[in-house]
Structure 1
Amino acid sequence: MFRRSSQDAPADAPLIELDASARPEAEAKKGRPTPKRSEAEASRRGRAYVPQDRKEAAKAARDERSAARERQRLALLRGDEAGLPARDRGPVRRFARDYIDSRFTAAEWFLPLAVIVLVLNVLPNPSLKDISLLIWLIMIVLIVLHSVLLSMGLRKQLAQRFPEKNTKGTVAYALMRSLQMRRLRLPKPQVKRGQKS
């Protein structure tokens, strides 16, 4: 009823034919065959796996965190620079670790001496309690003096070796490392005692 018949069109109307280059973008050839539906779905599934429920998503996140912690732990044990946490990474921090690890420090004896002091303090003999107090006082004074000397030496070395690098926080990092017993330090010491750093 409302259709236009071919008889209504003028007889001399020209036919317009478009080149391939003049086609709009939507009609332009894409240069590859259309993938099958099964291939497209497999590709989409491979790109982004979104868990269906909250429990599955939480389990996947937990597994990922656990794997990251394990990689970091192994890097700390091996001293692998690429896997270390950000606070331990870089040549400045490595130098600070080597500087502390190559020396005997008074602070690393803090824990064993603290245990001895506690044991002596528990005993009922008053003279042993006085000895434990004296040991405690000597230990604290030695740790403070040695830490001051270590920090002065480390600051001087950092200024000489890394004049253009940011060394903020490195001395505190090194002093915290010196408080730990050598065997328990992480990342593991890479130099022997007495070795030049």
Structure 2
Amino acid sequence: MFGRKKDDAAAMPAATDETIEPGPGKGAPTPRRSQQVAQRQRPLVPTDRKVAKEAERRRRMEASEKLRQANETGDDRYMMPRDKGPQKRFARDFVDSRWMVGEFLMFIIFAFLIVALAMPGALQLQAYITMGLWAVLLLTVIDAYIMTRQLKKRLVAKFGSSERGVLWYASMRGLQFRKMRLPKPQVKRGEKPS
């Protein structure tokens, strides 16, 4: 009563992929799930390792070239995440537009070291050199503190608040020699950052 008769089942052709007719507007039969999964599968290890290695090397070279150009021009799109953002750009420009004691710190320490090693017998001179070195370090800290206070005021005035880490970012940039800073300085000394 509810089942099919054996004669009807024999009369119907067996449904295969070749006999499926696409419906109107569909264009093709719906693929089976196993076919869809098989199409999405990718090998864990590439079949040709040499080609894959070359493609990976090329991709890394392109990324490093974009990063180098971004460091030269100041383009935010390709910079490292630590350098991205309008507040960090403003902090970079703020630091680069002024003279800082910290950027000459390494040269001063090197000079003190040369003088101290050149005259090992002069204990009185050694004491003066040590006190002078501590004075330079103190000046560097005071200069960085004053710069970060001024920067924070300017950031709050321009952006409404100061992002976390921007002041530390600026003070570390101030300790680097100007020609060695990355991203490269985009403003001249004495120029107002925009």
* TM-score for the superposition, normalised by structure 2: 0.72
Amino acid paired to 2:114: V
CA distance in 1, matches of 2:23, 2:162: 57
Deviation at 1:83, TM superposition (A): 2.1
Instruction: Show structure 1 runs of 5+ residues with no match.
Output: 10-23, 33-43, 45-49
CA distance in 2, matches of 1:25, 1:170: 65
Of the three residues 103, 122, 132, the one matched with 1:108 is 103
Aligned partner of 2:151 in structure 1 is 154
Contact persistence 1:120–1:128 (CA under 8 A): no
Aligned partner of 1:87 in structure 2 is 82
Instruction: Deviation per CA, 1:4-53: give whole Å up to 9, x if none.
Output: 8xxxx9xxxxxxxxxxxxxx983435569xxxxxxxxxxx9xxxxx9423
Aligned partner of 1:172 in structure 2 is 168
Give the % identical residues: 38
Contact persistence 1:154–1:171 (CA under 8 A): yes
Across the aligned residues of Structure 1 and Structure 2, the Cα RMSD in angstroms comes to: 2.8
Of the three residues 131, 145, 161, the one matched with 2:128 is 131
Deviation at 1:156, TM superposition (A): 1.1
CA distance in 2, matches of 1:187, 1:80: 9
Contact persistence 1:88–1:94 (CA under 8 A): yes
Aligned partner of 1:183 in structure 2 is 179
Aligned partner of 1:70 in structure 2 is 65
Q: Count matched residues.
A: 160
The ranges of structure 1 where at least 4 consecutive aligned residues each deviate by more than 4 angstroms after the TM superposition are 29-32
- Structure having the higher Rg: 1
Contact persistence 2:87–2:163 (CA under 8 A): yes
CA distance in 2, matches of 1:134, 1:155: 32
Deviation at 1:55, TM superposition (A): 4.3
Instruction: Show structure 2 runs of 5+ residues with no match.
Output: 1-6, 12-19, 29-38, 40-44
SS, match of residue 47 in structure 2: coil
Amino acid paired to 1:97: R
SS, match of residue 26 in structure 1: coil
